[in-house]
A = this chain, B = another copy of it.
Amino acid sequence: MSTSSSPAMSATLAADALLDSKRAAGQHVISMASGEIGVPVHPSLAERLAQAAHRNSYGPVAGSAELRTAVAGYWQRRDLEIDPDLVMCGPGSKSLLFAVLLALGGSVVIPRPSWVSYAAQAALAGQRTISCPVLPGQGGVPDPDRLHEEVTAARADGHEVRAVVVTLPDNPTGTFASSGTVRRLCAVAQRLDLVIISDEIYCDLVFDSAAPPISPAAFAPERTIVTTGLTKNLALGGWRLGVARLPDGPLGHTLRDRLLGIASQIWSSPAAPVQRAAAYAFQEPPEISRHVAALRGLHQKVARAVAERFTAVGTRLEPVRATCYLYPDFEPLRSRLAARHDVHTGAELTSLLLERYGIGVLPGSEFGEPASGLRLRAATSRLYGESDEQRAEAVRSPDPLSLPWIRSNLDRIGEVLTDLIGSSNRDSCSRTAPSTPPHPEGPVS
């Protein structure tokens, strides 16, 4: 069997499995490894799925006309008008991203850090990735100047570079690029004739609705593919439904034909009953919009409360502005971690947190960063409760931080971090306050 075609199991899913086995063995664990949202299905969506249980035909490969029309409406409300014929649906935006990489071919630039699966998918597709750093506090979008340098150098070395991936807002950092940076990224992509693959799965989870990120599709509509889905805004990961918006123009029509070919050979179509419920969700009726808003508020409160625990012990952390992710950097605490725990890498720090404290996070190396770094990604959505009842109450509560199970998780995180670092951390903390400008709503800590 070939090794290049066989990636390790997705790191988030593997960490989840390990935590589950610890929990089953009776250990108290706090899972912040996977970004699975976990809150219950909104009743009006469960009802639509149940009503569609009799649907058993494949339907169109791109998804039903009803669903594609609803998705086009969703994007139109975000100033990204699109012909429903240029909407592609699949069993998760993950599947669509893989198909897009296969369809484009050539090498692809990905941000550093970035989601675990971009590089793994490119490897599966037999493609080379070029990792390009982001600007401080603007995760998910490669620094445009560096992008220009890297692509020019790779092409001079004979590599055919065809695309750049951006994540807007970003996983793992919980931040997003300014519109100025996105505009400059688009200008570089135009100059170098790069396709932009914009993963916007977190676009409805921006805390300050007055200052949302601007999609590259606004600046470079002829070359930008946008993907999103129901996994993050509505916690429907297990339903497997993602959508892609292809560029309006020759590239989009060529891509559409190729994606239909690929999709028809790998997955045929998304599950038909799910398509029906998804069409309702993408119409954004009032109760669904309210539900997304409630979830967004919950993410904001809990993510920022967890961020406070990390900054309190002296980690460096950009203000979290979207998603339910934090990306604290323990670099300011390097000598302390080495002296107290013989910990020198993010992987060692992750293992220590998991094995000694039962806290699951992922090291930055899973996101394409050097193994020597001490960044960790913490996903806070699993703190909302252990049962559907607790999680539903967390979504409904005006003050989720006061719910005993959430408070106990926050307290436990604080205790673990204090125990990890030792008591006298104030020195290092004051030396490592974030250097980025404060968020409009105030800095995290």
Q: A residues near B, CB below 8 A?
A: 1-2, 4-10, 13, 17, 36, 38, 40-41, 45-47, 49-51, 53-61, 91-92, 94-95, 98, 102-106, 117, 120-121, 124-126, 162, 235-240, 254-255, 257-258, 260-262, 264-274, 277, 388
Given contacts A40-B56, A50-B50, contact A237 B268 (CB under 8 A): yes
Q: Are A54 and B41 in contact (CB under 8 A)?
A: yes
Chain B residues with CB under 8 A of A105: 1-2, 4-5
B120→A8 contact, CB < 8 A: no
19 A-B pairs in the complex with CB atoms less than 8 angstroms apart: A1-B258, A2-B105, A5-B102, A5-B262, A6-B262, A10-B61, A10-B265, A13-B264, A13-B268, A45-B53, A46-B53, A49-B273, A50-B53, A58-B238, A91-B267, A102-B124, A117-B265, A240-B268, A240-B269
| Contact across chains for B6 and A237 when beta carbons are under 8 A apart | no
- The reply to whether B274 and A271 form a contact with Cβ atoms under 8 Å apart is yes
Q: What residues on B are CB-neighbors of A270 within 8 Å?
A: 240, 271
Contact A238 B13 (CB under 8 A): no
Distance, CA A40 to CA B53, complexed state (A): 11
Q: Is the CB of A265 within 8 A of B41?
A: no
Contact with A265, one of B98, B267, B272 (Cβ below 8 angstroms): B98
Which of B91, B237, B266, B271 is the one whose CB lies under 8 Å from A56? B237
For A95, give the chain B residue with the smallest CB separation: B267
Contact partner, A57, options B2, B6, B38, B264, Cβ 8 Å:
B38
Q: Is the CB of B268 within 8 A of A58?
A: no
A127 to chain B, nearest CB (A): 9
Q: Are A235 and B56 in contact (CB under 8 A)?
A: yes
CB distance B240 to A271 under 8 Å?
Answer: yes
* Bound form: Cα–Cα A1–B274 in Å: 31
Cβ of A277 to closest chain B Cβ, rounded Å: 8
Partner of A46 from the list B40, B54, B271 (CB cut-off 8 Å) is: B54
B residues less than 8 Å from A103 (CB atoms): 1, 5-6
Docked CA distance A10–B267 (Å):
11
In contact, B57 and A238 (Cβ under 8 angstroms): yes
The residues of B that contact A274 with a CB separation of less than 8 Å are 271, 273
* B266–A121 CB distance below 8 A: yes
Q: Which residue of B lies closest to A234 (CB)?
A: B56
Which B residues are in CB contact (< 8 Å) with A121? 265-266
A388 to B56, CA, bound (A): 11
Which of B41, B59, B261 makes the CB contact (< 8 A) with A53?
B41
Residues A56 and B236 in contact, CB atoms below 8 Å apart: yes
From B5, B51, B61, A9 is in contact (CB under 8 Å) with B61
Given known pairs A2-B105, A9-B260, A271-B274, the reply for A59 and B238 (CB within 8 Å) is: yes
A124 contacts across to B, CB distance below 8 A:
102, 262, 265-266
Least Cβ distance of A175 to chain B in Å?
25
* Residue of B with least CB distance to A102: B5
The answer to whether B265 and A120 have CB atoms under 8 Å apart is yes
A391 to chain B, nearest CB (A): 11
* Bound CA–CA A370/B125 (angstroms): 30
State the Cβ distance, A232 to closest chain B Cβ, in Å.
Answer: 12
A49 engages B57 (CB within 8 Å): no
Bound form: Cα–Cα A238–B49 in Å:
14
Residues of B within 8 A of A258 (CB): 1, 5-6
| Cα distance A113–B98 in the bound complex, in angstroms | 30
